[in-house]
């Protein structure tokens, strides 16, 4: 359903070029959810915005191909793209809590969004569909008459999920869709997303810096670091037997209250993405890096049924 091949995306700011996504490839099969995980600045949102072609104007798609639902996304004209975006695929954004206008009632805003894509629907059909959507995201009908500021963070995020589902998309991207919520609400919404995904047979991506959230929702996980794909495997492989030292660090930094394990961080910061990097991007933070890691760019290899980009692959930190 989604095939991203050798994708490279840069941003231009004054005389600098930011290497936000470098040579990333992965697939999402029909009915599957793939998680994209990595710390802030690792290129997750750039990847998602490239897939739905909503990049800021200073972004340049340098190389690669994206096939989504049979469309060659990067070569479609803007007009054709507008016809399918939000209809055949959609996205719940990271900063969606601010996405609605504060001065209009929620119901009117949802109805307007629906009319824009389905001008032939009657008022009655629109209200029926809105009520059906609210039931799907566990919201009472009274929210239609409310203004955005009258709703809690969790309610607003459910509205955003409803908005993304408005036109029956087949493919959906959740970009940090639960990050801004308290843990109890986050847990509830993750469970709701799980059951929606199943009942609507959705396919898609879940983007988060939180490996815990991604592993709850996804069949497979792509781990990104500094714009590169460093590991891609099933959720079980990534959690139970991570191969890349960065993935191992992410797994060790997951809270494990049952076993009262200590929390580990990963010391150091992302490299400066405005520089061309001709070594392993993770080498300066990697506890097992040797000289070769500072002089050679690792290629992505298949190891034990998953893909990993590490010269010392498999070595446990």
Ligand X SMILES: Nc1ncnc2c1ncn2[C@@H]1O[C@H](COP(=O)(O)OP(=O)(O)OP(=O)(O)O)[C@@H](O)[C@H]1O
Question: DSSP assignment of 76-95, as one string?
Answer: S-HHHHHHHBTTTEEEE-TT
Tell me which stretch binds ligand X (CB under 6 A): 39-47, 95-103, 136-144, 299-307.
39-47
Pairing type for strands 306-308 and 228-234 reads: antiparallel
Report the DSSP beta bridge partners of residue 220.
34, 234
Closest of 25, 58, 89, 59 to residue 224, by C-alpha: 25
Would you say 11 or 246 has its CB closer to ligand X?
11
Pairing type for strands 171-175 and 89-92 reads: parallel
The two tokens of residue 101 are: 């206008």
Shortest reach from residue 263's CB to ligand X, in Å? 20
Site mask for ligand X (CB under 6 A), range 142-181, x = bound:
----------------------------------------
Considering only 51, 144, 273, 309, the residue that binds ligand X (CB under 6 A) is 273
Does 50 bind ligand X (CB under 6 A)? Our answer is no
HSE-up of residue 279 (Cα within 13 Å, Cβ side): 15
Tell me which stretch binds ligand X (CB under 6 A): 34-42, 161-169, 232-240, 282-290.
34-42
Residue 192 Cα distances to 33, 94, 153, 187, angstroms: 15, 18, 15, 9
Q: How far apart are CA 148 and CA 159, in angstroms?
A: 10
Would you say 111 or 229 has its CB closer to ligand X?
229
Q: How far apart are CA 16 and CA 19, in angstroms?
A: 10
Tell me which stretch binds ligand X (CB under 6 A): 42-50, 249-257, 279-287, 295-303.
42-50
Shortest reach from residue 152's CB to ligand X, in Å? 23
Q: How far apart are CA 231 and CA 247, in angstroms?
A: 7
Shortest reach from residue 61's CB to ligand X, in Å? 13
Does 13 bind ligand X (CB under 6 A)? Our answer is yes
Does 58 bind ligand X (CB under 6 A)? Our answer is yes
Tell me which stretch binds ligand X (CB under 6 A): 44-52, 183-191, 258-266, 297-305.
44-52
Helix, strand and coil content of the chain, in percent to the nearest 5, comes to 35, 25, 40
Does 56 bind ligand X (CB under 6 A)? Our answer is yes
Considering only 4, 34, 43, 283, the residue that binds ligand X (CB under 6 A) is 43
Does 11 bind ligand X (CB under 6 A)? Our answer is yes
* Contact positions with ligand X (CB under 6 A) in 85-144: none
Q: Judging by beta carbons within 10 Å of its beta carbon (0-12, 13-18, 19+), is residue 260 exposed, middle or buried?
A: exposed
Count residues near ligand X (CB under 6 A): 16
Say if CB 298 and CB 219 are below 8 A apart: no
Does 23 bind ligand X (CB under 6 A)? Our answer is no
Cα radius of gyration (the chain):
21
Considering only 18, 37, 91, 206, the residue that binds ligand X (CB under 6 A) is 18
Residues in contact with ligand X by CB under 6 A are: 11, 13, 18, 20, 38, 40-46, 56, 58, 209, 273
């Amino acid at each position: 359903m989604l095939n991203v091949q050798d994708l490279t995306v840069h941003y231009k700011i004054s005389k600098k070029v930011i290497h936000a996504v470098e040579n990333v490839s992965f697939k999402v099969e029909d009915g599957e959810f793939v998680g994209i995980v990595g710390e802030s600045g690792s290129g997750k949102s750039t990847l998602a915005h490239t897939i739905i072609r909503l990049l800021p104007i200073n972004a340049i798609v340098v190389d690669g191909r994206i096939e989504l639902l049979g469309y060659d996304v990067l070569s479609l004209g803007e007009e054709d793209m507008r016809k399918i975006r939000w209809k055949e695929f959609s996205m719940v954004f990271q900063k969606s809590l601010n996405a609605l206008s504060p001065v209009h009632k929620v119901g009117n805003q949802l109805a307007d969004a629906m009319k824009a894509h389905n001008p032939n629907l009657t008022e009655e059909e629109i209200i029926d569909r809105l009520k059906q959507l609210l039931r799907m995201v566990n919201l009472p009908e009274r929210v239609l008459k409310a203004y955005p500021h009258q709703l809690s963070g969790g309610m607003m995020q459910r509205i955003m999920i409803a908005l993304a589902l408005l036109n029956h998309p087949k493919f959906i991207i959740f970009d940090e869709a639960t990050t801004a919520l308290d843990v109890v609400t986050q847990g509830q919404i993750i469970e709701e997303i799980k059951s929606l995904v199943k009942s609507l047979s959705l396919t898609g991506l879940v983007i988060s810096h939180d490996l815990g959230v991604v592993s709850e929702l996804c069949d497979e996980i792509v781990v990104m670091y500094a714009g590169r794909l460093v590991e891609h495997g099933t959720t079980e492989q990534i959690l139970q037997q991570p191969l890349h030292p960065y993935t191992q660090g992410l797994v060790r930094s997951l809270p494990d209250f049952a076993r009262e394990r200590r929390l580990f961080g990963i010391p150091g910061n992302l490299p400066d993405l405005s520089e061309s990097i001709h070594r392993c991007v993770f080498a300066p933070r990697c506890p097992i890096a040797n000289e070769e890691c500072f002089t050679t760019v690792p290629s992505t290899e298949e190891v034990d049924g998953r893909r990993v980009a590490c010269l010392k692959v498999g070595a446990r930190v």
